[in-house]
Amino acid sequence: MKYTQLGRTGLKVSRLVLGTMNFGPQTDEADSHAIMDAALDSGINYVDTANVYGWGENKGRTESIIGSWFAQGGERRDKVVLATKVYGNMAADGDPWPNHDKLSALNIRRAVDASLKRLRTDYIDIYQFHHIDRATPFEEIWQAIDVLVQQGKILYVGSSNFPGYKIAQANEIAARRNGTIGLVSEQCLYNLAERRAEMEVIPAAQEYGLGVIPWSPLHGGLLGGVIKKEVEGGRRASGRAADSLANTTIRAQIQAYEDLLDKHGLEPGEAALAWLLTRPGVTGPIVGPRTAEQLESALRAVDLELSEEVLASLDEIFPGPGPSPEAFAW
């Protein structure tokens, strides 16, 4: 495994991030533990989750699965850089009672303690805002975070799904507060098929020293060889990938992508991850394996070097928007 610094921090993290969203809803506890063991054995030290994962009546289930894995010992917790998120509503389904979501100081305090209990740990390495909160000022948010840092409950703070201007606003307000380091990472939707983050989010992250953590690196399976799987195994695409392939223009684009990689003897999913690892500002993409085999495929991407010819061809198939303001102005 290869490692890099997380943004401007001294924290060393693996170039792949183990995403856990499938743990509970699609992968049972035993298989989830096996995947986490395999990831740790491979050198992945960055594990990402969120308090709402498990979804619906099972919100918090994913954190609990991670917590039971930590409880097995073997230095699991000490070896892991643990990231979780706050924002989503954690009230029981159908419960209209307020202050169980978003980024008020009250909810942040409650959410941290609840996550720590489920995760069976006394600290979170990277506590992430899952979305912007238009109703809560950053002065209030940072005051709550300062208290948690002083208590030793969190070490760093990151954002997820933030626009560029909110990254700037958050860190400018943090800079005016003595001792507040501000955001150190940003999780954003970013992959070959979805490159809008290159306009402002990634430049803002680079300017303020945030590590970029792309989520959905295979764009819901669209970049994982979906057409080839249909032809060879009869496995039809589902969800977002099926909706996208219904568009003839997108289907032709994905076919060109798969043909290019087949010509060079490359697996689509591995190439999509390897491409992200070449992008400026990217710390490492989040991979969310449902099985051990999917983890093994992702690991191969770390050592995969794409030729200049392949990179140029990928840019032709999936042209990026370019940086702003040039992307929308002269």
Q: How far apart are CA 210 and CA 159, in angstroms?
A: 9
Q: Of 53, 87, 127, 208, which residue is the catalytic one?
A: 53
Active site residue 123: no
The burial of 285, by beta-carbon neighbours within 10 Å (0-12 exposed, 13-18 middle, 19 or more buried), is given as buried
| CA–CA dist 139, 165 (Å, integer) | 16
* Distance, CA of 170 to CA of 186 (rounded, Å): 12
Beta-sheet strand order (sheet of 81-86): 211-215, 183-189, 154-160, 124-129, 81-86, 46-48, 17-19, 286-287
Asked if 306 and 274 count as a contact pair (C-beta separation under 8 A), the reply is yes
Q: What is the DSSP string of 11-42?
A: -EEESSEEE-TTBTTTB-HHHHHHHHHHHHHH
Q: Is 82 strand, coil or helix?
A: strand
Match 């300017």 to its residue by tokens: 207
Residues labelled catalytic:
53
